[in-house]
């Protein structure tokens, strides 16, 4: 099962640029996964900071599907997610800090291992300050 890979896609946008109030939607599936080996799947839309200082993060949307919760899981069949995006924080590529948005899919395997995949996207269109010419 450890050789399984999560495939994660966002609908419509090749540049992965979204604006506040727009709907972020997409799908995911696992390659080469048997449904009797998957205990649960979590899908999150979240942001986190990178750079100087402590790392901050926030979860905007979260879904969990589990066999124990009565959900039927076929990890090879595409699952869907959709959520309207918030007004902030906007994605930011600063000199000292970055704000990164992503969709994260985490699959919990019955043997206690996990498979995780993240797909970053940008919320808002703030220019990258590293490439600005003054």
> In the prediction, which pLDDT does 133 show?
64
> In the prediction, which pLDDT does 77 show?
87
> In the prediction, which pLDDT does 127 show?
82
Cβ neighbour number for residue 77 with a 10 Å cutoff: 11
> In the prediction, which pLDDT does 12 show?
82
> In the prediction, which pLDDT does 132 show?
63
| 33 within 8 A of 117, measured Cβ to Cβ | no
Cα-based distances in Å from 49 to 28, 46, 57, 77, 107:
25, 11, 6, 32, 24
pLDDT in tens, 89-101: 999 998 899 999 9
Residues with pLDDT less than 50, the chain: 1-2
């Amino acid at each position: 099962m450890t050789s399984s890979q999560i495939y994660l896609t966002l609908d419509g946008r090749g540049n992965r640029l979204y604006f506040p109030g727009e709907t972020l939607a997409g799908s995911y599936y696992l390659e080469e996964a048997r449904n009797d080996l998957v205990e649960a799947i979590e899908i999150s839309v979240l942001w986190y900071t990178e750079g100087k200082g402590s790392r901050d993060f926030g979860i905007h949307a979260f879904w969990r599907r589990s066999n124990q919760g009565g959900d039927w899981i076929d990890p090879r069949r595409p699952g869907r997610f959709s959520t309207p995006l918030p007004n902030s924080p906007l994605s930011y590529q600063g000199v000292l800090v970055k704000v990164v948005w992503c969709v994260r899919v985490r699959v919990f395997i019955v043997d206690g291992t996990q498979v995780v995949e993240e797909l970053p996207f940008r919320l808002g269109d703030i220019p990258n300050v590293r490439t600005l010419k003054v």
